[in-house]
Structure 1
Amino acid sequence: MSHTDVDAVVVGSGPNGLAAALVLASAGLSVHVLEAAPTIGGGTRTQELTVPGYRHDVCSAVHPMAIASPFFRAFDLAGHGVRLRQPTVAYAHPLDGGRAGLAWRDLDRTAEGLGPDGPSWRRIFQPLVDGWEDLVDTVMSDFRTVPRRPANTVRLALRILAQASPVHRLRFRHDVAPALLAGVAAHAIAPLRGVASNGVGLVLATLAHAVGWPIPVGGSQQITNAMADELRRRGGTITTSHPVDSLDELPRARAVLLDVSPAGLLRLAGDRLPGWYRRALSTYRYGSAACKVDFALSGPVPWAAEGCDLAGTLHLVGSRAEAAHAEAAVASGRHAERPYVLAVQPGVVDDSRAPAGRQVLWAYAHVPNGSSRDVSGQIKDQVERFAPGFRDLILAEHVITADRQHQHNRNYVGGDIAGGATSAWHLVARPLPRWDPYAVPLEGVFLCSASTPPGQAVHGMCGVHAAKRAIRKRFGITGDPLRLVAATAG
C-alpha cells in the first residue's frame, strides 16, 4: 500500500476501532486498520491461556450490548454467523447459607423468586424493560444530543438517584434483592453509592430482562472476526503485529482514528499536540483495575445454591454491605480482604470451550490501579465460599495482575479495563470537557476509544460517534452512520 491511496487509517482493532472502520468503509472510503498485537480484537479476543483445548476470553466474555447496542442492532451479528446463546439465568448472586438471587430473562420469574421484595423489583424494572431501546439509545449516545424520548431518560435518572441515596434501604425488606442489584452495579468498578455505578447497574439489569446476557459460541473472538470479515468484504484492510509509536509512522490519510487511551494518544502525538491539550491528557483519571484468573476445570463448578449452575455470570462477594465495603476499599487504593469477584462460566451454553465433561471459568477481582498483587488465592477463596470443592477441580490456571494487563491491551493503563474512572462527570467529559470529545486538535485526527463517550463495554458506539464526525468534517458525508452500516450489511 502506498502512502497516498487510503482515505482513513484506524489504529487499534478493538470493537470501537473496528466499528469506526466499518462506518468509514460503509461510506465508500478506503480504510486501513493497524493492530499492535498478533491477533485482532483488543478486549474482545479468545485464546488458549491455560492448556491446549481450553479456550478463554481474554477480557470481555458476556455481551448484552451485542444485541442492544445501536451499532450491533444495525450490524446484526446473527446475520454474520455469530451465535449468541442465552444462559437460563442471566446472572446470579450467591449468598452464604446456600441461598442466591437469580436474574432470569423473565422479569416476572425473577420477581417471584425475590418473595416480598419481588413487587419492588418489578416496579423498578418494568418501565425500563418496556422502553429498553430508547434507554439504550440514550446511554449509548455522545451525551450531546437530546434523547428521542426524554420520558424514558427521566425514568432512568429518577431510579439512579433513588438507588444512590438512602432511599435504597427502604425499597427492599430482605437481603437478596439488594445484593442482586449491588452485584450488577459493581460492574462499574467504582463505589456503589455513586450515580454512575448505579446507572451501570440499572442499565445492565434492565438488559438482562429485556435482551439477556448472551455468550458467543466459540468465544468473544467470534464478534471480532465477524466485524473484521465484513470490513474486508467492504474493501478495508487490516495489518496485525504492527505497533505504532508515532503518528509520523502512519500512511498519509485524510482521517486518522485512534482506538487508544489518552496515554496512548500522548505517546503517539507527543509535542505535536497543543500544550493545553497535552497537559489535560496527562491528568486524565484512570479507574480501579482488575486482576484476572482463567481456570481450566475437570468439571462444572459445584455451586451450593440452586440455580447458580444455570447462570452465565455470577457476582461473588456476599451481601450488599460486603460489596460496598470491597468497592470502597479498592477506590481508596487498598486491596479488599474479600474482593468483589466477577465470574463467568461459558460452558453452560457453549460446550466448545473445553474438552467433553470439562469446563473453563473466567474470573476477575477488583484491585487498585497499577496493583502488582496476585489475588488469585482470594478469588479462589470467594469461589470456594459459594461452591465448596471448587479447588479440587482446578487443572490449570492463568493469572494476569493489573500491572500486566497492558501486555494484552495497551489501552488498559494500570489494569483499568474501562478506559477511565467511572463517574457521571467523567463519562460525559472524557477524555476532557469539550463539545466534541472525539476531535483531537490536530488536523484530521480523532479519538475513538472507550476513553470517549459513552465509555466502557463492547458496543462499538465510541467508534461510531468518532467516525460520524470524521466523515462529515473530512469528507463532507452527512447522515446517520448506522444507516450506512445497515444498508451495506449482508
Structure 2
Amino acid sequence: MREAWDAVAVGAGPNGLAAALALARNGRRVLVLERAQRAGWGLRTDKSIVPGCVHDHCASVLPLALASPFFRSVGVIDRVHWCWSPAALAHPFDDGTAVLLWRDLERTAVELGPDAPRYRGLMKPWLSAGTALLAALLSPLPGVVRLPGSRLPLVELLCFAREGVRSARVVIEHFVGERARALFAGLAAHSTLPLEQAPSAAFGLVLAACGHLVGWPLLAGGTERLAEALVGEIEQHGGTVRYGVPVERLDDLPPARALLLDSSPRIALRIAGARFTPAYRWQLARFRPGPGVFKIDWVIRGTVPWRAPECALAATVHLGGSWEEIAAAERAVSQGRMPERPFVILVQPGQADPGRAIPDYAVMWAYCHVPSGWDGDATEAIEQQVERFAPGFRERIVARRAWKPGDLERANPNLVGGDLSGGWPTLDQLFTRPAFWPWPPYRTSDPAVFLCSAATPPGGGVHGMCGYWAARWAERWLDRLDRGRLSPASGKSVSKAAVSAELTAR
C-alpha cells in the first residue's frame, strides 16, 4: 500500500514552499504544514500598525528573488508585480551629501570620484558574467563547478571565489576615497560578520552586482504577494498547504515517504532528532546562529526630511556614516556588545511602491544588528541614527512598533535569537551548513529526512534555492523507492533540466 503523501514539507517559508513546488511539479503528492494561519514566514505583510499602511514583517527588498533560477524557471516572478525606486541604495554622510548605488554601473562610478576606475574594475567581471554567476553562487559548493547550463568556465568561477572569500576590509582598502569605502562597507555589513573577517567581501560584491544586474526591487502590495504566488503554484500542481498545524514531533505528521524540514537545526532536532545518528545530532547542536536584529516599524506624517535630498531616490538607505564607524559597530555586535551607534538598514518602500501608505503618510522600517538574543531596547539608538541624517524625523512619527530579537523568534521560531540569516555565515558554516556530513547538507543521517531551510546552502535571502536543492535530493530518494515498482512521475518537471534551460536562456 502506498503512503498517503510522497513528501511532507514542514514550514511554509520561501524555502519550504519552493521545495514543495519543485516536487509537486514533478508529479509528487506533496503536503505543506504551517503552524501559522498563513504562509510566508519572512514574507508576511500586515496592516496592523495603522489601517491602510502596509508593513513587511521581515524580507522586503528582494534582489535575490529576481535573480533566482528556480523562481524564474517556474514563472513565479511573473505572477507578481515588481517595482523599483530610481536608485537601489543611498548612503548619506554627516556633511549632507550621499552616495547612491544606481542600476547603471557608470552612473554609480561617477558618484565615487577618484575611485571610479577602481569600482569599475572591481565590478565589471561580475557584470560580464551576469545572472549566470548569481545562479552559480546560489548553489551548493559542487554545484558551483557542475551547475547545469552554466556558461562560466571553472577557472573564471575560481577567480570569483578568490575575490569573494576575503574580508571586506581588503576590498575597502583597495579604495582611496571615503564615499566608495563607506558604500562597500554598508553592503558587506549585510553579512552580519565583522568587516575584518572573511568572507564578508562576498556579500558586498553580490549585493552590488545584484544592484547593477537586476536592481533591488520590492513587490507591489508587500512581500506576501510572493508567498501567495508560490502557494498558488503548489495548489495548481496538485499540492496541498494546510495552516494552523504545529509540528513538534514526528507523531504529528501523516505518513509520507519523505520529510522536508524548513526549520532551524534546533527545531529539526526537536522534531526528528530521535531518527538521527548521535554524530549528526552533535553537528546540528553545534550550529551557531548569527547576530540578532532589532527592528522598528514606523508610520510617519509626510516624508522623511533627509538632509541629503537624494536619499529620497532610494528605497533602501544605509545609516552608518564612515566605513570605520560601520566596522566598529559590526565588530562590537560580533563580540556580544551593543554599539552606541549601530549600523542601521532603513527601508522606505513608498519610494518604489507608493501604495504602501494612506495619503499624506509614509511607511518605513529599519533594523540594526544586535548580539544574539539581546533583550535590550535599541529604539533610541536607531532613531538617533535616523535623526542624525534626517533632522526632524522624530517629530513626524505617528506610530511605531519595535521588535526585539525574542519577539522575532516568537513570531518565527526559525529566527533563533533574532537571526535573519539562518546561521552565522562564517567560512566554516558557509558551505557545510549545518553539518559537514552527510553531503550534500540537505541530507540528514536519516535517508528520508531532508533540511530545506536557510540553514543550508546558499543560506539566507529570499531565493528559494535551499528548498529547490533539497527537493532535488528528496526526488532522488523517491526515485530510488519507485525504481522497478512504479511508472515515472508525470507532470511538469522542474528538475535539473528546467533550471538549466533558465540559465542557458541568459
Q: Which residue of 2 aligns with 1:481?
A: 495
- List aligned pairs for 1:256-295, cutoff 5 A: 256-295=259-298
Q: Is the 8 A contact 1:84 1:217 kept in 2?
A: yes
Question: Which residue identity does 2:450 align to in structure 1?
Answer: F
1:482 Cα deviation (Å)? 5.5
Aligned partner of residue 297 in structure 1, secondary structure: strand
Equivalent residue in structure 1 for 2:128, among 119, 127, 130: 130
Question: Which residue identity does 2:123 align to in structure 1?
Answer: F
Q: Is the 8 A contact 1:74 1:482 kept in 2?
A: no
In the alignment, the residues of structure 2 paired with residue 474 and residue 167 of structure 1 have an alpha-carbon distance, to the nearest angstrom, of 45
Q: Which residue of 2 aligns with 1:65?
A: 64
Q: Which residue of 1 aligns with 2:410?
A: 407
Equivalent residue in structure 2 for 1:85, among 83, 96, 99: 83
Q: Which residue of 2 aligns with 1:431?
A: 434
Aligned partner of residue 459 in structure 2, secondary structure: coil
1:404 Cα deviation (Å)? 1.9
1:322 paired to 2:325: yes
Q: 399-408 or 179-188: which moved more?
A: 399-408
Q: 370-379 or 68-77: which moved more?
A: 68-77
* RMSD of Structure 2 on Structure 1 (CA): 2.0
Identity %: 44
In structure 1, runs of 5+ residues without a counterpart are none
Q: Is the 8 A contact 1:66 1:77 kept in 2?
A: no
1:163 Cα deviation (Å)? 5.5
Q: Which residue of 2 aligns with 1:392?
A: 395
Equivalent residue in structure 2 for 1:296, among 295, 299, 306: 299
Aligned partner of residue 195 in structure 1, secondary structure: coil
In structure 2, runs of 5+ residues without a counterpart are 481-487, 502-506
1:196 Cα deviation (Å)? 2.2
Q: Is the 8 A contact 1:128 1:155 kept in 2?
A: no
In the alignment, the residues of structure 2 paired with residue 482 and residue 405 of structure 1 have an alpha-carbon distance, to the nearest angstrom, of 35
Aligned partner of residue 243 in structure 1, secondary structure: coil
In the alignment, the residues of structure 1 paired with residue 338 and residue 62 of structure 2 have an alpha-carbon distance, to the nearest angstrom, of 28
Q: Is the 8 A contact 1:438 1:448 kept in 2?
A: yes
> Residues 229-272 of structure 1: CA distance to partner in whole angstroms, max 9, x if unpaired?
11111111111111100012101011110000000001112333
In the alignment, the residues of structure 2 paired with residue 462 and residue 352 of structure 1 have an alpha-carbon distance, to the nearest angstrom, of 32
Q: Which residue of 1 aligns with 2:484?
A: none
> Residues 84-105 of structure 1: CA distance to partner in whole angstroms, max 9, x if unpaired?
1111110111111101110011
Q: Which residue of 2 aligns with 1:248?
A: 251
Q: Which residue of 1 aligns with 2:448?
A: 444
1:198 paired to 2:201: yes
Shift of the 73–231 alpha-carbon distance from structure 1 to 2, 3 Å rule, reads: same
> Residues 184-241 of structure 1: CA distance to partner in whole angstroms, max 9, x if unpaired?
1111111112222210110011110111000100010011111111111111111111
With structure 2 as the length reference, what TM-score do the two structures score?
0.92
Q: Is the 8 A contact 1:124 1:159 kept in 2?
A: no
> Residues 299-321 of structure 1: CA distance to partner in whole angstroms, max 9, x if unpaired?
22111113110101111111100
Equivalent residue in structure 2 for 1:454, among 448, 453, 458: 458
Q: Is the 8 A contact 2:329 2:343 kept in 1?
A: yes
- List aligned pairs for 1:221-232, cutoff 5 A: 221-232=224-235
Question: Which residue identity does 2:269 align to in structure 1?
Answer: L
Q: Is the 8 A contact 1:75 1:486 kept in 2?
A: no
Shift of the 100–163 alpha-carbon distance from structure 1 to 2, 3 Å rule, reads: farther
In the alignment, the residues of structure 2 paired with residue 475 and residue 358 of structure 1 have an alpha-carbon distance, to the nearest angstrom, of 55
1:139 Cα deviation (Å)? 1.1
With structure 1 as the length reference, what TM-score do the two structures score?
0.95
Q: Report how many residues are paired.
A: 485
Shift of the 167–108 alpha-carbon distance from structure 1 to 2, 3 Å rule, reads: closer
In the alignment, the residues of structure 2 paired with residue 277 and residue 457 of structure 1 have an alpha-carbon distance, to the nearest angstrom, of 25
Shift of the 396–350 alpha-carbon distance from structure 1 to 2, 3 Å rule, reads: same
